[in-house]
Amino acid sequence: MNKCDQCIVRQLSSLKALNKDEVVKLANSKTTYKIKKGDSIFEEGEVTNGVFCIKDGVGKLSKLSANGKDQIVKLVQSGELLGQRSMISNEPANLSAKAVADMEVCFIPKTEILHFFNNNNQFSMNLMQSVCEDLKESENDKIALVQKTVKQRLAETLLQLHDAFGENDDKTLKVQLTREELGGIIGTATESCIRLLSDFNKLDLIELVGKKIMLKNIKALKKMAE
């Protein structure tokens, strides 16, 4: 059995407020899944009936736009909880969650989470704070989409990928997104994203190593992102 008390999700999320008995309850109620790259954890409009803990791997939260494009809202990694807002508001998921790299995910049923919510003040406080932070992040992203140029958003996204997920031994970004996914994050067409990457490459800000991306001038990228 995977030990919930030593799990990274517990250390980094609202679950850290649970006491020993609650952690045992948590461990007995959860189901663990392996999600292959490209597969879904849940789809937009689905009733999730619980929360998902990301134990390992990287996922993307996205929304299908009116023209059928996948707009990536956020990348998530180990230590994070998914589905908490729709569980509290009692609504279907408003985003889809898919694996960008192979993932290990635990599912905790809503009944257990609500039990902790009703009986542990610190847990409910942490959960609400986490939901508020998500909302604030979402507002900031909306503002950035309006106020920043596509070039600024690409520089910012590349830096975020570097800071959040690190790099491989060959200095390329550890999380490899397709050009389409990168376009989806910065809110532009795939072709425009490819052109921008090519421009960044010519300016020696990055180096394109096949499908991989290496950041060559972080200082200049930061200046561009401002």
The pLDDT assigned to 85 comes to 86
Q: CA-CA distance, 63 to 70, in Å (whole number)? A: 6
Flag whether pLDDT at 10 surpasses 90.
no
Q: What's the rounded mean pLDDT across residues 168-190?
A: 90
| Chain centre distance of CA 144 | 18
Flag whether pLDDT at 82 surpasses 70.
yes
Which tokens hold the place of 162? 């570097």
Q: How far is CA 214 from CA 61, 178, 223, in A?
A: 24, 14, 17
pLDDT digits (tens, 9 = 90+) for 16-55: 999 999 999 999 999 999 999 999 999 999 999 999 999 9
Fold of the domain spanning 8-120 = Jelly Rolls (2.60.120)
Q: CA-CA distance, 47 to 94, in Å (whole number)? A: 10
Flag whether pLDDT at 68 surpasses 70.
yes
The CA radius of gyration of the chain, in Å to the nearest whole number, is: 19
Say which amino acid occupies 87.
M
The pLDDT assigned to 221 comes to 96
pTM above 0.85, yes or no: no
The pLDDT assigned to 140 comes to 82
Q: With cut-offs at 50, 70 and 90, classify the pLDDT of residue 6.
A: confident
Q: With cut-offs at 50, 70 and 90, classify the pLDDT of residue 1.
A: very low
Domain boundaries of the chain, sorted by first residue: 8-120, 146-225
Which tokens hold the place of 103? 């993932």
Which tokens hold the place of 178? 């397709």
Q: CA-CA distance, 47 to 49, in Å (whole number)? A: 6
- The least confident of 13-27, 133-147, 190-204 is 133-147
Fold of the domain spanning 146-225 = Arc Repressor Mutant, subunit A (1.10.10)
The pLDDT assigned to 133 comes to 85
The pLDDT assigned to 97 comes to 95
Q: What's the rounded mean pLDDT across residues 79-103?
A: 91
